[in-house]
Amino acid sequence: MVVPSHPSVTPATPDLDRRTDESLSTASPTSAHIVRTEPGEVAAAKVTEARIFGYPLEALCGERFVPQQDPGKLPLCGTCQEIYSLYRQMGDGGLRETPGS
């Protein structure tokens, strides 16, 4: 059965170039975040690679960001610092580096 189309109805075409699953801000960063590393990864290398290639990273606090500048020049994110301290207290071996080093 064929249903005739109404002349006032226009088909909706999705905007395939628009990304709705990622929302990355490009504003100047206000704090440095701590990223979790997998066994064998070095946090500094992971951040440097993301900065060069523009890959987004996820911080311990849940914020997704693309590294834009030297994190040593920014204050450490308080939420990331608290989560990192909890990991250290629980003896989680996934975080082997000291923030700010």
Q: What average pLDDT does range 9-37 have in this prediction?
A: 64
Is pTM beyond 0.75? Reply is no
Residue 32 phi, psi (nearest 5): -90, 140
**Of 46, 35, 40, 38, whose CA–CA distance to 84 is shortest?**
35
Least confident of 32-41, 57-66, 73-82, 84-93: 84-93
pLDDT grade for 81, boundaries at 50, 70 and 90: very high
Spatial distance between the Cα atoms of 35 and 50, rounded to a whole number of angstroms: 11
